[in-house]
Chain A
């Protein structure tokens, strides 16, 4: 296993990535390796840079261009280096599925069309501009909707769906994309506990069945411990913890985050206290 891991090209390789916004450093020399097939949680309080990091990995944002500016590689292909996106970024983005906190579906289009947009990266222009998706892709889209459990919504407008359903449609989009990596940026932060659980389970199933690498930004440690074997914790743009999620005990968290730890362990509207308890039991 360890031998294979050494030979493998990392799914995601970030090297000394820096990002400065007007006021402050959002990413401060972040380096990490994630192997194919891993399911990793990225945790941290708000403003810790976890979403920023994920957006850089997908090439939706570029890092600092100064000499110390780092690089991002995905499946061995450059995404960005020294503040410049790779020229073939679109081909690389097509291999990365991105799931957003606010779902980012096109509300006025049917769910089916939203899911089919996952195929845009590999379609010839005449097909994508006319909306004539090949039968194979339409079948794949319907299968994906079935897999995430919302096939009956296929021809509804995306805006008519509940938050949890929209997020699952967004995950279906990454399935049509045949994404080798799924990056999920706070996918459950806008959802109720039950929808959150279903979304996390959908992601975990895809990780287990398709061997898709999944990186999830999370606000709550409970979910990280429950669904992700490995956790990377960020604080003020720096990695402060990278290891098995089981090692994240409440005391470790307090050491890492001080008063901010409360924000990460806060139970999610009632029902999550059960998860916290299990998590503590597992961690302890």
Chain B
């Protein structure tokens, strides 16, 4: 009798096991449901293996003949990321505060949040295509595309940081007769600054990656080069450009994560 009770205690209650089982069922059902839509054909990898081998062989050895040109364009890509992020940070500060429940009333924060949602919902590639039409081919279109998209993302992250602050210091500032702006500068900003800096650096990292792609629609930088050589089947050159991108992005990632650690 007593042993029966003991073994029952050792396994989780039946309800928990059932929920776990159901969760796994839902996950597998979702994967199965999207199989045909995504045209998953694992056999193609084996059947066309030889073709892919030839294709891959074309990439090596990488051709660094025009490396000066590639590097120049890579630096322009960095410039795009820097300005896209800087403008976004500046705009995300007021938008982020207006999105926060504990700063702005619902009739302000709800519309601003929806506006930020729309900034985020549209990928930077789409914005890049639109801005290429608006301001012409070149890096400026890329800057604007990153700027709009990143503003949407940073405003959301910034406002979440603001909503998570300790309200007591803010009340302390309010009790001195300070107005709303002074409450924000002395009560809120000191509390959110480490997170805001960390988020901005993280977005800069991501924007360096994104900036290599927006070029593909003509918005300047290394992406333009990449798009041209891929279309021209210059695979050895493509490989060289890809290696340069990988190196740059890795360096930026490592540097910025080091920097971010300083602020947390």
Contact = CB atoms under 8 A, between A and B. Distances in A.
A282 interface: no
A104 B177 contact: no
B185 A93 contact: no
A125 interface: yes
A108 B181 contact: no
B176 interface: yes
Contacts of B185: 128-129, 131
A105 B187 CA distance: 9
Contact of A105 (B169, B174, B178, B193): B169
Contacts of B173: 106, 117, 120
Contact of A117 (B171, B178, B179): B178
> Residue among B169, B179, B190 with the most chain A CB within 10 A?
B169
A102 interface: yes
Interface in A94-124: 94-98, 100, 102-109, 113, 117-122
Given A128-B185, A170-B172, A108 B177 contact: no
Nearest to A131: B185
Interface string A70-110: 00000000000000000000111111111010111111110
A173 B176 contact: yes
B186 A109 contact: yes
A105 B168 CA distance: 8
Contact of B186 (A94, A95, A120, A125): A120
Contacts of B172: 98, 100, 103-106, 117, 170, 173
Given A58-B175, A93-B175, A94-B176, A104 B169 contact: yes
A120 B175 contact: no
Contact of A60 (B174, B181, B193): B174
Contact of A120 (B169, B178, B193): B178
Contacts, number: 85
B176 A108 contact: no
B72 interface: no
Contact of B193 (A100, A102, A108): A108
B131 to A, nearest CB: 33
A118 B186 CA distance: 11
Given A106-B186, A106-B191, A108-B190, A93 B177 contact: yes
Interface string B135-178: 00000000000000000000000000000000011011111111
A177 interface: yes
B228 interface: no
B190 A109 contact: yes
B222 to A, nearest CB: 39
B174 A93 contact: yes
Interface residues of A, number: 34
Contacts of A104: 168-169, 171-172, 175
Given A108-B191, A129-B185, A121 B171 contact: no
A76 to B, nearest CB: 17
Nearest to A170: B172
Contact of B177 (A91, A125, A170): A91
B169 A125 contact: no
B6 to A, nearest CB: 44
Contact of B187 (A60, A106, A128): A106
A90 B178 CA distance: 7
A113 B185 CA distance: 12
A121 B177 contact: yes
A29 B170 CA distance: 30
Nearest to A104: B172
A100 B177 contact: no
A129 B182 contact: yes
A100 B171 contact: yes
A133 to B, nearest CB: 11
Interface in B171-208: 171-179, 181-182, 185-187, 190-191, 193
A121 B190 contact: no
A98 to B, nearest CB: 4
> Residue among B171, B172, B190 with the most chain A CB within 10 A?
B172
5 contacts: A90-B179, A94-B176, A121-B176, A129-B185, A170-B172
Sort A-B residue pairs by CB-CB distance and give the 4 closest, nearest first.
Answer: A94-B177, A121-B177, A104-B172, A98-B175
Given A108-B190, A173-B176, 19 more contacts: A90-B177, A90-B179, A93-B176, A94-B176, A98-B172, A98-B175, A100-B168, A100-B171, A104-B168, A104-B175, A106-B169, A108-B191, A109-B190, A117-B172, A121-B176, A121-B178, A129-B182, A173-B172, A177-B177
Interface of B: 168-169, 171-179, 181-182, 185-187, 190-191, 193
